[in-house]
Each structure stands twice: as C-alpha cells, then as structure tokens.
Amino acid sequence: MKNFWSSIAATNTSRVCLALLAGLVTARAQTNFYTITSTGSVSNRVNIVFLAEGYRTNDYAQFLTDVTNAANILLTNQPYAEYRSNFNVFAIAVPSTNSGSDHPCCGVTNSTFFSSTFDYGSDYYLSFPTNQLGQGRVDSLLNTFIPQSDLAILLVNDNLQGGSDGGGRTAIVSRGALFVVSSYNVILTHETGHVLGGLGDEYTDAYPGFPDIEEPNTTRETNRASIKWNAWISTNTPVPTPGTAPYSGVVGLFEGAHYHTTGWYRPKLNCMMKSLGVGFCEVCTEALVLAYYRQARPVDAFAPSPTNQTFTTTQAVNFSLTLLQPVTHSLSVQWYTNGVPLPSQTNAAFTLLPASLGNGSHTVSARVVDPTSLVRTDPTNLLSQTNTWSITVSVPQLTLSSPRWLGTNGFTFHVSGVAPAGFSVHASSNFVSWTSLATNSLVAGQFDFTNKSATNFSLRFYRASTPPAP
C-alpha cells in the first residue's frame, strides 16, 4: 500500500540569495521547495508549509523526514484527520549555519536562519523574532515560493521539546516535540490551533498584562444567551459551570482562561488549548472546521463550465460536481431547477432534459452542505455552497391553438413555437396511426394551417411535429 506521504519532490533549487548577517555578509545558499503531498490545487486547499530552522544543508534529508513525521502527526489529530483531503503539505528548506536553536538558560547560542530561541525561563517556550529577522523571513520565503500558504509551521531542529504560536502567525515546534510520546501530538497541534483557528490559550494561570482580546474559545460573558458557544451548552448545565461531575465532560462555562484565574471563561474543563494529552474541545473543534472551510470550499470543481449555457437540442445534458469529501461522512447535495428542489436528485451528478423546462431562461443549481455534527454555529454559511448555472433553452417546440371551423371551407388552427428545420402536421382518429397532411415552415414563429377538405368527416386529432417527416 502506497504511503500517503511518500511522494516528495524538490521543484526548485538555488532560488534565494540570502543576506545572512544584516547585509554585511551575503551568501548564496541552496533553498529548496518541496511538495510533500498534494491533494489538489493550492487555490482550494488548506496549504500547510513547513520551514526549516536550525537545519544545515547537510541536514535537509533529516528535515524532510521530520516534516513527514510532523505532517502525519498533525493530520492524525481531530478534526484535521476528518478533513485530511482538504490539506496540501509543502516544505521550504533554507540552510542555517548551525544545527539546533538557542538555549539562553545554558549559554548555548546557534546561528540559525530565523533566529529562534528557547526562553530564558522556560525550556518549553520556543519562539522567534516577530520582526524581519524571524516572521519577516517567513513572509519573504512564502511570498517567493507559495503565497497561497494558509498555515506556516517553523520546524526547529532541536531535540528539546518546545513550541509557540510565534507571535500569532507562525506555529513553531521543535523536532524534539515530535518524539515525546505522551505529548508528541499536542504541541504542534496546539500551536496550529492558535495560528489557523485563531484559538486562545485556555490556561488558567495568571499572566498580568496579557491582552484582553477574546478568542472563539475564551470569554468574559456570563449571560447564557450571549455566550458565543451557547449552542453547545445544554439547558441542564448551570452557567457558570462547576468543574466537577457531572459536568467535567460537557461543554459549559468554566472559570479560568486566557491567562486569568477568574473573570475569564473557557468552554470545557479540559481541552488541547489548556492541557497536554487531550483533544480539542467541541468549541475549538468547531472553530478549526470553520477555518478549514474558509480556505477550501466544498465544491472543488464543476461541469459544464462556464456557468452560462445555451441548449438548442433536446439532447440530455450532464451537470456534475467534484466534491471535497470528508473522510468518514459525506457532503449532502440537492439539485434545483428554477429554485425548486428536484426529488431524489441528491447525487454529485444530475442529467437535465432541456425540453422539460421549456424554452426561455432558467437556472440549474446544486446546493452542497457539510452536515457534520462538529459545527453548530455557522453564521457566514461556510459549510454550504451553491453552484448555479444560468441556462437558455431554445429547442424545437410547437403549440397548436385557436381552432376555428370554416363551414364548407374546412377548418383552421394556429401553429406557433420554434421549428428551425420546419414541421409537419399529422392527423389521426385513434392516436395510434398518424397520417402526414402537410410539411411547412414557421414564419416569425407562426403558421396558420387550413384543412379545406374536412367537411363531413369523422372526429380526428391533429398534431404538429419537428423535424418534418422525410
């Protein structure tokens, strides 16, 4: 069985001239861009880009191995795993002079491309400068190689575990964090919760001076109806919510969040945004799924294209969607003509008989919805998408009207409609056998048919059809 992550290809080499020491020393070094895995166009995917920090050119093979491990870890965690086909993974290898990161606590200093460092006080906190020496270099590389990046991850070649959200725009994680079995899948995933989902820390430890900006999973609101995740709180759950049974496993309003012990609240007693070793809570999960759908829409492609179509024959026309399907559940589809839902037309493809709509202007549309239970509040309808085709039907179509008895001169009726190849009039007394009476053409869409030999004959039925009988 082919490994999902096994196809790695370098597509660019030696593309960046690196000013390593603030312009004092300029070195031409090899920067490589790799496609680790591609599930589709970068224009409709969540594009993850790993960047190498503290890897020398000789460490590039190790970097690719570490990227593969890290991507597998991240995309194994929920809700990433359920939406795995929504992600592309790329990597940018840029060389550092030294391996590893700085450890100020221990006097270890390394010359690395993004100037990352562990913290003086905590050898778990791994960050980099938010100015041009750190984030600025991430921005520059992304702009050069993949401006469509949605989630930048700085992978630091240091065996000590650590990470951070890099100031909010770049998830930072050490390769050492990938090896810690008890928490290996948490630091990286936690940091992407900040960067991709806009989630806040649910930490209850006080950190005076931390900006009082609420995130999707933190709030100061205690009025139940106004709590942003109220859709997840059962009416049986008190608000605020005691951190004890039977509420320890449900969504509520738990005091302590956003580096405050009191006055700030989090959705659940425990969550990946608070502790190592647990998954995302329902509210954080919802925020992440919404974030995925901001970048990757459910309809990946559609046919026919373009969305303005004219049909001049009665031939059946196929409409179809290519959907970005989740792993364990399916997107739902409903087809419409002129805004009216079509019974049983709930597959990714739909066959239209143009004549069934009649000549004129119409719409064919398909509404796609992700019915996932992971999202309860979707104010901007990120989980649904409607594709609409504006169609003009102009197919041969005839109408008989205005029958009039002419006495001894027989009778007449009016033929109107569309018959570019002409039409013929038939008569029958039993609806089974038909006799052709005349072949004619419409003039400006009109024709008056007269039968002068109809005196004293028995009841007959008449029809006009196109193309005319040979």
Kindly list the residues in this chain that would bind Zn ion in the complex (CB under 5 A): 217, 271, 273, 281, 284
C-beta of 201: minimal distance to Zn ion in Å?
A: 10
Which is closer to Zn ion, CB of 233 or CB of 333? 233
Angle between helices 187-195 and 60-74 (to 10 degrees): 80
Which tokens go with 280?
């995302």
Closer residue to Zn ion in complex, CB, 48/283: 283
Nearer to Zn ion, 216 or 354 (CB): 216
**In terms of CB distance, is 273 or 368 closer to Zn ion?**
273
Residue 269: CB minimum distance to Zn ion, A: 10
Number of H helices, E strands in the chain: 4, 27
Classified as helix, coil or strand, 304 is coil
Provide the minimum distance between the beta carbon of 285 and Zn ion in the complex, in angstroms, as a whole number.
8
**CB-based contacts of 333: which residues, under 8 Å, 6+ apart?**
321, 323, 346, 347, 348, 366, 367, 368
Assess contact for 99 and 159: CB atoms under 8 A. Answer: no
Q: Which is nearer to Zn ion, 145 or 254 (CB)?
A: 254
Taking the C-alpha atoms of residue 290 and residue 295, their distance in angstroms, rounded to an integer, is 9
Residue 160: CB partners within 8 Å, gap ≥ 6?
Answer: 101, 103, 118, 123, 174, 176
- HSE on the CB side for 119, CA within 13 Å? 12
275 vs 397 by CB, closer to Zn ion: 275
At its nearest, how many Å lie between Zn ion and the CB of residue 272? 7
Measured from the CB atom, is 144 or 275 closer to Zn ion? 275
Coil/strand/helix, residue 81: helix
DSSP assignment of 329-355 = S--EEEEEETTEEPTT--SSEEEE-GG
Asked if residues 286 and 197 have their Cβ atoms less than 8 Å apart, the reply is no
Residue 365, H or E segment: strand 360-369
Q: How far is CA 209 from CA 259, 272, 288, in A?
A: 9, 23, 27
Rg (CA), the chain: 33
* One-letter identity of residue 462: Y
Instruction: Please state the closest distance from residue 73 (CB atom) to Zn ion, in A.
Output: 19
Give me the residue whose beta carbon is nearest to Zn ion.
271
Whole-number Cα distances in Å, 217 to 32, 46, 245, 283, 327: 37, 22, 21, 6, 26
Minimum Å gap between C-beta 340 and Zn ion is 42
Q: Which of 273, 357 has the CB closer to Zn ion?
A: 273
**Could you tell me the CA-to-CA distances from 403 to 246, 397, 447 in Å, in that order?**
80, 19, 13
Pick 207 or 457: Cβ nearer Zn ion: 207
Q: Please report how close the Cβ of residue 265 comes to Zn ion at its closest, in angstroms.
A: 11
Residue where the block lists tokens 């913290």: 119
Q: Which is nearer to Zn ion, 173 or 281 (CB)?
A: 281
- The minimum distance between CB 202 and Zn ion, in angstroms, equals 6
- Nearest distance, CB of residue 393 and Zn ion, angstroms: 52
302 sits in which H/E element: strand 299-303
Tell me the closest approach of the beta carbon of residue 267 to Zn ion, in angstroms.
6
Q: Is the dihedral of CA 213, 219, 221, 224 positive or negative?
A: positive
